[in-house]
Amino acid sequence: MAKQGVFTLPANISFGVTAYANSQYTETLTVLVDGVSKGTFSGTGANEVSLGHKVFNSGKGAIQVTVSAHGSASDLVSTQVVLGGKANFALLASEDGGDGDYNDCVAILNWAIG
């Protein structure tokens, strides 16, 4: 199985990341492009609290998303999906160890945009 939270996008395109929190703990989601941190989202709350949306450039196309909560890396599950051969998404969900529901921090990546 591919490493969770690691995605391959086309080089030098714009892609969006939208993040949500569903946890009593502060969730910190970091977006890395070609191994370099390009942005973070952070927050806490229940019922899909929006942590925001940001647009990034894919660089060479090596994208990694990490999530941590209460000082530890969260467990991740992820996948890439292409809808109708046209719409591209990467989906990520994390578990911070509280209850095993894998909804503590959720991210949606989409491309190409612009």
Q: Is the dihedral of CA 40, 5, 100, 54 positive or negative?
A: positive
- Averaged pLDDT of the chain: 94
- Domains of the chain and any CATH numbers: 6-111 (2.60.120.400)
The pLDDT of residue 2 is 61
pLDDT range class, residue 47, cuts 50, 70, 90: confident
Secondary structure (DSSP) of 38-65: EEEEEEEEEEEEEEEEEEEE-TTSEEEE
The pLDDT of residue 46 is 84
The pLDDT of residue 25 is 92
Instruction: Work out the average pLDDT over 33-55.
Output: 95
Beta pairing partners, 44: none
Note the pLDDT tens digit of each residue in 57-110: 999 999 999 999 988 999 999 999 999 999 999 999 999 987 889 999 999 999
The pLDDT of residue 1 is 43
